[in-house]
Amino acid sequence: MASPTPAPHFLRQSRWNPYLVGTAIGVLSWIVFAVVDKPLGVTTALTGLAGACAAPFLGTDTVAANAYFKSHVFKLDYGMLFLGGIALGGFLSAILSGSFRAEIIPTVWRERFGGSVAKRLVAAFVGGILAMYGARLADGCTSGNGISGSLQLAVGGWTFFLTLFASGILTSLVLFGTGRSSKN
Amino acid sequence: MHLLAAVTPPVTGPAALVASVVLGAIFGVLLHRGGVANYNVIVNQFRFRDFTVLKIMLTAIIVGGLGVLALNSVGLANYHIKAANMLGVVLGAAIFGVGMVLYGYCPGTAIAAAASGSIHGLVGLAGLLVGGTLYAFSFPWIAKNILPVAALGKVRLPDVTGVPAVVWFVALLAIALTVFFFIERAERRAAASAPS
């Protein structure tokens, strides 16, 4: 971690202290609760976008007739704009810190599964399907259940948080085994 | 077009509109700078090789929770509790965990990652949209057979245990500080012994 060059300006550092980041996300949740009167979340709004994107493939009538999409209609409301904001923030942060770079196969994946682009992209796609399906079944993801639910001491939030970690640990044991490898 | 007709009026007023984008952007910056818009950091959390995710989440839960508790007690914030449909939450979280390790992101960090150059993150975003669509079309069956099982309603830990929220946060803080102490000590030792 020790760098020979002096630390860059705070806004240009590619990583911030995780406790500082956690504290800032906590404070952000105060603002979201107090100002927007909604919990901080991602997948509820993403469901509306899924419906909008499914419409050209499945037909607008099919999507419009679906009970779940009916209660998650695509609209440019707080939730959807918040998602756009995440993309904007991620982009600006990467540009400002000079860490924007195209990544197709991350290091940890390459060490275990090799350099096949197709393999990695299929895994990411299937993983995405499972993550979203699970998040909808649980009515929230790491943000909506894991952080927003848990910080309100919601029974569902803590159940999600603990089950997610148990499942993630088991899955990574199956996928990566226990063998030693480099950190990042 | 039918779809455009479904686009209801945007959030009330330009101020609220801008606020939503700004709040999201702050979240996006924090996810990226926190290091959790990085596949390696997320997967290595579940392999006990990197504790960034746990540090960020526990800190956010405690700081956020104490603040929202205070805001709520003076009437400045409402709780938004989701129904604890326990079978759905447990099954969903289990499936989510598999997906998160395979994908290397959760939905929020995936958006920040794709925007900071992750191509596989972008491909997985398409997976997220497909997953949402699959759920929507399985919803009638799920709503009938899964969600009603062990449905506890919109309950909080203080409701089901009788232990006040403040006590829960004191306990959480004690647990988190203990966990952080041991993580930091292990990381210092690893850094000292590693040739780097």
Is the distance from CB of A31 to CB of A40 less than 8 angstroms?
no
Of the candidates A75, A124, A151, which has its C-beta nearest B120's C-beta?
A124
Q: Is the pLDDT of residue A179 over 70?
A: no
A37, A86, A182: best to mutate for the B interface, most B CBs within 10 A: A86
For residue A64 the two structure tokens come to: 């419009």
- What is the interface pTM, i.e. ipTM, of the complex? 0.93
What pLDDT was estimated at residue B193?
87
What pLDDT was estimated at residue B120?
98
Q: Does B111 reside within a domain?
A: yes
Q: Can you tell me the distance from the alpha carbon of A121 to that of B123, in angstroms, rounded to the nearest whole number?
A: 7
Q: What's this model's pTM, rounded to 2 decimal places?
A: 0.92
Taking the Cβ of residue A132 and every Cβ of chain B, the question of whether any pair is shorter than 8 Å is answered with yes
Q: How many CB pairs under 8 A join A and B?
A: 533
Our count of domains for chain B comes to: 1
Is the distance from CB of A183 to CB of B44 less than 8 angstroms?
yes
Q: Does B176 reside within a domain?
A: yes
Q: Does B10 reside within a domain?
A: no
What pLDDT was estimated at residue B16?
81
Q: Do A131 and B106 touch (CB under 8 A)?
A: yes
Taking the Cβ of residue A172 and every Cβ of chain B, the question of whether any pair is shorter than 8 Å is answered with yes
Residue A114 pLDDT class (50, 70, 90 cuts): very high
Taking the Cβ of residue A103 and every Cβ of chain B, the question of whether any pair is shorter than 8 Å is answered with yes
B31, B50, B95: best to mutate for the A interface, most A CBs within 10 A: B95
Q: Do B108 and A164 touch (CB under 8 A)?
A: no
Q: Do A26 and B59 touch (CB under 8 A)?
A: yes
Series of mean pLDDT values for 10-residue runs along chain B (196 residues) = 36 76 97 97 96 97 97 93 97 98 97 98 98 97 96 96 97 98 95 78
Q: Do B97 and A51 touch (CB under 8 A)?
A: no
Residues in chain A, total: 184
Average pLDDT over residues A150-155: 97
What pLDDT was estimated at residue B1?
34
Return the residue of A nearest to B13 by Cα: A77
Q: Do A165 and B97 touch (CB under 8 A)?
A: yes
Taking only the tens place, the pLDDT of each residue in B19-30 is 999 999 999 999
Question: In chain B, which residues have their Cβ closer than 8 Å to the Cβ of A167?
Answer: 93-98
Average pLDDT over residues A96-118: 95
What pLDDT was estimated at residue A7?
72
Q: What residue segments make up the domains of chain A, in order of their start? A: 9-101
Q: Does B163 reside within a domain?
A: yes
Residues 49-68 of A with CB under 8 A from B: 49-55, 58, 60-61, 64, 66-68
- The whole-angstrom distance between A167's CA and the closest CA on chain B is 5
Per the structure, the complete domain to which residue B142 belongs is given by 15-193
Give a three-class secondary structure readout of chain B.
CHHHHHCCCCCCHHHHHHHHHHHHHHHHHHHHHHCCCCHHHHHHHHCCCCCHHHHHHHHHHHHHHHHHHHHHHCCCCCCCCCCCEHHHHHHHHHHHHHHHHHHCCCHHHHHHHHHCCEHHHHHHHHHHHHHHHHHHHHHHHHHHHCCCCCECCCCEHHHHHCCCHHHHHHHHHHHHHHHHHHHHHHHHHHHHHCCC
